[in-house]
Amino acid sequence: MPLSLSELALRTGATVAGDGAVVVSHVATLESAGPGSIAFLANPRYRTQLAATRASAVIVAPDMAAQTVLPKLVAREPYVVYAKVASILHPPALAVPGTHPTAVVDPRARVAASATIGANAVIGADAVIGERSRIGAGCVVGAGVSIGDDATLHANVTIYDRCIVGPRGILHSGVVIGADGFGMADENGRWLKIPQIGRVVIGADVEIGANTTVDRGAIDDTVIENDVKLDNQIQVAHNCRIGAHTAIAGCVGIAGSARIGRNCRIGGAAMIGGHLEICDGAVVSGGTQVFESITVPGVFTAVFPALPHAKWRRVASGVRRLPELESRVSRLEKEAAAARGAAAPDAVKGQR
């Protein structure tokens, strides 16, 4: 729905500079914007596009407001305002409450009258589907599962028995919640499966990207706290706990019983070892392998920077020889210390 800049300012907390009566209907990038669109500048490297944009209005930080004559929303965090504006101008399509004729809903399930159950979805016994929740086509919601109010399960999400998804959760296609954790005992060279009897408990306002998997606990629950954001293709193993407001990028692997604190950020393809802790506020760079607990907030990186292949081979070869070099240095230091010790009596004798 088209709105004036002044109305958007009221709804986002931004300040209007210029003609507040300008009406916009959609968001766009600075480069692709045209009449009726509103663009934003959050990264200074794109400031050259600000002068050339054909947007009807822009969203900028205070220090960039003078760089354009266009009507604008001014805010200390322009990207946050952009997110709010995009949500206002591009709301999700309204769902029609009801259950599709092809869905299979167990008689013992409790489905709110305002909920939407899509085609070929399956709702198990004693499952609870909250008010205004949307269960997409082909979803499977197991027995005893609880789905909170206003949650959205996109097509083909699977929630195993007894797991919990909090209110306003968003689970994208292919997400699997509550599959068995990888628990095996070695019995004379043969793997003996350990029953996984815990659950997955997901808090409020959690978003989980496509094809991400969260395993149930072996005994205790796997827990994802409020407002956690998980990208696509992440593996969360059994008995993990992820603290509130943490964001984790795609292809991260988290081994069993790891505990990740609140307000953490973990870059794509990082690997988190099992049975360790990452403290509140830690930032782990993409591709980093974490094998020991992180106990002090900060940025942690263990990625070898990209180099031309031939140079990388030379550097990697040097790194491989570090233990040998350390041993040689240690031996030389001992020999030097011994030589100094032997020379000391002669020096004293010469002074007599």
Residue positions annotated with a catalytic role: 238
Rounded Cα gap, residues 181 and 258, in angstroms? 13
Rounded Cα gap, residues 55 and 36, in angstroms? 7
Rounded Cα gap, residues 107 and 184, in angstroms? 36
Pairing status of strand 23-24 against strand 3-4: antiparallel
Spell out the alpha helix ranges (H) of 193-321. 309-320
In the chain, the amino acid numbered 228 is V
Q: List the structure tokens of 162.
A: 């007894």
Nearest to 272 by CA among 244, 241, 245: 241
- Decide: 124 and 112 in contact? Cβ < 8 Å: no
Rounded Cα gap, residues 217 and 203, in angstroms? 16
Angle between helices 78-89 and 5-12 (to 10 degrees): 110
Pairing status of strand 72-74 against strand 15-17: antiparallel
Rounded Cα gap, residues 57 and 67, in angstroms? 13
H/E element holding 331? helix 322-351
